[in-house]
Homo-oligomer: A and B are copies of this chain.
């Protein structure tokens, strides 16, 4: 635990001592801890409904965006790995017996692919925006996606988009792997993961990644997904 030290007047201290003697708490430290927990649960940003809308909380965060991120962690897992001359995206296929196709990895022309996690229709609309606007460079693609995410994070009459994306883009340039989160924040990476257990998959990728061939990249993605029996895979080359 983090230690917090605070000075209190002697008289308050005596009062706390009396509370310890007469109450359920075994020590003063215990009592203070309980007081802080009680305070946080009645006065914290969540208790004050700062997490209900696209507004700023006192600690400078926008809780709706954090909840949307939480939503993307519930979706099926996906991994992207960049390699010399291309990027591979791979997702685990659903195991429902009668399902023939779901929308997990989608193509946008033949130089962009998109793997998503979260609310299916949110991801679908992000992809449609790309299809309708036909960006010519990766920077234009970023502009389109950030703008769409942003509209849904700044307006109190909307909710945030609940979709994490891995994009493989070779628009007018070398193939790049991009990751987007519901706030519209993005980064370019060597390798990354979204969806359920993304954190541990990223740790595995950080440990084992080294730039190599398409085959090595696909093998690493396969490994990071836990060597699933059924999977979907797409390569985008420069």
Contact = CB atoms under 8 A, between A and B. Distances in A.
A91 interface: no
Interface string A110-131: 0000000001111011001000
Interface residues of A, number: 87
A9 B52 CA distance: 34
Number of copies: 7
Nearest to A52: B55
A121 B143 CA distance: 10
A129 B85 CA distance: 33
A188 interface: yes
Interface string A23-38: 0111100100000000
- Secondary structure at chain A's binding surface: helix, strand, loop or mixed? mixed
A147 B125 contact: yes
Interface of A: 9-12, 14-15, 18, 24-27, 30, 41, 43, 46, 48-64, 67-74, 94, 96-103, 119-122, 124-125, 128, 143, 146-147, 149-150, 152-162, 176, 183-192, 202, 205-206, 209
